[in-house]
Amino acid sequence: MSLPPTWRAGSWPPQQMPTYGRLLPPGSHSQTGANLPPTMLLASSSTTQEEQDSTQATQESEPCFDDLCVNEAREGDEGTGEYVFWGCDFKPALPYALGVSVVAGSICLALVQIPLLCRLQSWSQAEAPLTAVEVGLAAVTVVLMGYCSLADPGQIRKMRNIALDGIDLEQGDRPFRAHKSWQYGRKIRRYDHYCKWVNNVIGLLNHREFVLMLVGLCLIGLFGVLLDGYLALLLAKKGLWEAEVAVVLHLAYSVILLAIEVPIFQIHIGLVRRNELAQEWKNNLNYVANQTSMGDGVPVEELDDEEYNQLFDEKAFVYDKNRSHSQRSGLVHKLLELLVLAALASWRTRRVLNVTCPLPVFHCFFVLVFATD
């Protein structure tokens, strides 16, 4: 039985036929290599490749599992025009400016303020310890800053064959606190926020170092304010106005540094104490409101816009630890975890260094206050 004329490869259909997808006119046998119907001839390989790339890009940004995925593909891109002056965006220069200022301030203290103070007060034996403390603090802070800026914040691995807390990563699932960032192709575990001062995402693998960096910056600013303030009073009493200029300039820098870092440090210490991430705090995921039109203990996201704005202005949102998905079973669980990890760290230290050492108290503290997923 012969096929209808419209089914013959290499000929135009005499009537309008439905098409499916992006099709080309039927070609000859040499072009197709088979007797295919005209409606089954696909587009060129280059077009197909473009479609595959577009589909792949769409799949990478999807699926969106919950409300936390809203706008997370561009997370950290907020405030684009905040540091635009004279048509130039200075936001990428913030990490370099912070690092250079810390190094320059440390050099100024080590070469000018500390020697001058020790000469005025006859503290010759205190000059070396003060210089060592100040330079060491600045060096550690700069190293932590570089680590936070360059380290992988904790991307989810592409291939993982084992189950993680009942989550099948091979099927597209992800840990609850992992989120997409515009800087990386894969989601970041324990996503906290994007920091413009290090130009990197803060996540599972650099969160501890980030908080330690904040501690170092606050200590640098506090040390500068105390030393410069005391030295400025001494110079004013003795009438040494020429040396007063460098002291006042560094004092102003220390005050500005504290004004920037202390509010950030306060926020993150509160988040660490509650085992809450900045991403969750920003979206009010663990907060409820009382004395609302729907009663007490109402989740914030269930409020209408007008009531939400009113209660937000009144700062009436209350943190509810029972809503947090990351809460442990209690203080006993944390203490047991602390002791186990501290003992493991002490054993590994003795094994590597072949020495007897006490429990690493500093490490224990940060194991206690930083809970992972």
Q: Each residue's pLDDT tens digit in the chain (373 positions)?
A: 555 554 444 444 444 444 444 444 444 444 444 454 444 434 444 444 554 454 444 444 333 333 333 344 444 444 455 667 777 777 888 999 999 999 999 999 999 999 999 998 888 888 899 999 999 999 999 999 999 999 999 888 765 555 555 555 544 556 777 888 888 888 898 899 999 999 999 998 999 999 999 999 999 999 999 999 999 999 888 877 777 888 999 999 999 999 999 999 999 998 888 888 888 787 777 777 777 777 677 777 777 777 777 777 777 777 777 666 555 444 555 556 556 656 665 565 555 555 454 444 444 444 444 444 4
pLDDT score at 158: 65
* Domain count of the fold of the chain: 4
pLDDT score at 344: 61
* 26 phi/psi in degrees, rounded to 5: -60, 140
- Are 83 and 165 contained in the same domain? yes
**Domain span including residue 316:** 287-323
Among 278, 309, 341, give the residue marking a domain's end. Answer: 278
Cα pseudo-dihedral 270, 272, 275, 277, rounded to 10 = 90
- Are 104 and 139 contained in the same domain? yes
Contact 176, 190 (CB under 8 A): no
- Are 86 and 233 contained in the same domain? yes
Total Cβ atoms within 10 A of residue 107: 13
pLDDT score at 38: 44
- Are 143 and 14 contained in the same domain? no
292 by DSSP, 3-state: which?
strand
Q: What is the DSSP secondary structure assignment for residue 166, as one 8-state letter?
A: T
Among 22, 39, 60, give the residue marking a domain's end. Answer: 60
Among 248, 278, 308, give the residue marking a domain's end. Answer: 278
Helix axis angle, 207-238 relative to 114-121, nearest 10°?
Answer: 40
Contact 140, 174 (CB under 8 A): no
pLDDT score at 90: 77
- Are 34 and 86 contained in the same domain? no
Total Cβ atoms within 10 A of residue 304: 11
For the chain, how many helices (H) and strands (E)?
11, 7
- Are 162 and 34 contained in the same domain? no
pLDDT score at 319: 74
Name which of 24, 26, 21, 22 is nearest 6 in CA terms: 26
- Are 231 and 314 contained in the same domain? no
Q: Mark 208-239 as b/e (b = at least 16 C-beta within 10 Å).
A: bbbbbbbbbbbbbbebbbebbeebbebbeeee
Helix axis angle, 361-369 relative to 331-353, nearest 10°?
Answer: 140
Residue 62 tokens read as: 């999807």
pLDDT score at 338: 56
- Are 87 and 172 contained in the same domain? yes
Predicted TM-score (pTM) of this structure: 0.63
pLDDT score at 201: 93
